[in-house]
């Protein structure tokens, strides 16, 4: 058998900027399309949906503060729009109270959890700057709220066809959990490039979910009506959920 007839083994293709034989994905910006600037809020929304790595790349560039501000502005606007849909269930004061509570609760939850995210990222070996961590959280919020806008019509249909506060609360909770999962995926991808361990990020995700759940209880009612704008009684969110299921309110 003539060995000269055996074709040479071809090298495995490698990602741009990554040596052959390594399965690590290329860093954001390896594709020239990912280096395109994000000039405004509308471009930020489109990029977070279609090219999240483009957002990650821009967050590492000088002047990323404008992009972060645009994403935060868009996320607040989207959360208020969805809040209006939540408010249509009860009408009246809830048409303005629910949007304000939704936007404020989301922003406060992110601010409360931001320091712990930066600490966990440092412990995990990440070299991300604080401004980049803030940008990744802004991207998480933007993706969450844009997805909520996608669920808004479905939520409106149910809000106009049922009188059960518990059922509507469960529906909004399901939409919130789905949206949060996609937002967390964006956050994980952002830290995957320069973190040795993701254990801290998993712990932070649980903390973030708990804080947001408690915030909805602290700002209740968001779904339904009450005699006061804010509650006069302190409650743990699990207790509030159980009480709502028992009373149906």
Q: Assess contact for 137 and 188: CB atoms under 8 A.
A: no
- Tokens for 160? 């106009």
Question: Tens-of-pLDDT digits for all 249 residues of the chain?
Answer: 455 554 444 444 433 333 444 445 677 877 888 888 998 899 999 999 999 999 999 999 988 999 999 999 999 999 999 999 999 998 888 999 999 999 999 999 999 999 999 999 888 888 888 999 999 999 999 999 999 999 999 999 999 998 888 889 889 999 999 999 999 999 998 888 767 777 888 999 999 999 999 999 898 888 888 778 888 888 888 887 787 777 755
């Amino acid at each position: 058998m003539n060995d000269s007839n055996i074709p040479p083994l071809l090298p495995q293709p490698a990602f741009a900027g990554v040596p052959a034989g390594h399965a690590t994905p290329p860093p954001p910006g390896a594709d020239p399309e990912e280096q395109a600037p994000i000039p405004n809020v509308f471009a930020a929304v489109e990029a977070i949906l279609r090219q999240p790595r483009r957002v990650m790349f821009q967050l590492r560039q000088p002047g990323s503060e404008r992009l972060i501000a645009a994403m935060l502005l868009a996320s607040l606007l989207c959360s208020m729009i969805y809040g209006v849909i939540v408010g249509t269930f009860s009408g009246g004061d809830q048409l303005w109270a629910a949007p304000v509570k939704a936007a404020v609760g989301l922003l406060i939850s992110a601010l409360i959890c931001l320091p712990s995210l930066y600490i966990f990222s440092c412990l995990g070996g990440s070299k991300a700057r604080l401004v980049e961590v803030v940008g990744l959280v802004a991207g998480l919020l933007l993706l969450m709220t844009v997805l909520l806008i996608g669920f808004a019509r479905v939520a409106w249909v149910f809000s106009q066809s049922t009188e059960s506060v518990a059922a509507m609360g469960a529906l909004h909770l399901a939409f919130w959990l789905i949206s949060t999962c996609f937002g967390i995926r964006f956050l994980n991808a952002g830290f995957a490039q320069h973190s040795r361990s993701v254990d801290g990020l998993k712990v932070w995700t649980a903390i973030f979910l708990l804080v947001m759940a408690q915030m909805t209880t602290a700002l209740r009612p968001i779904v339904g009506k009450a005699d006061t704008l804010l509650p006069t009684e302190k409650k743990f969110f699990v207790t509030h959920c159980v009480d709502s299921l028992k009373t149906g309110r």
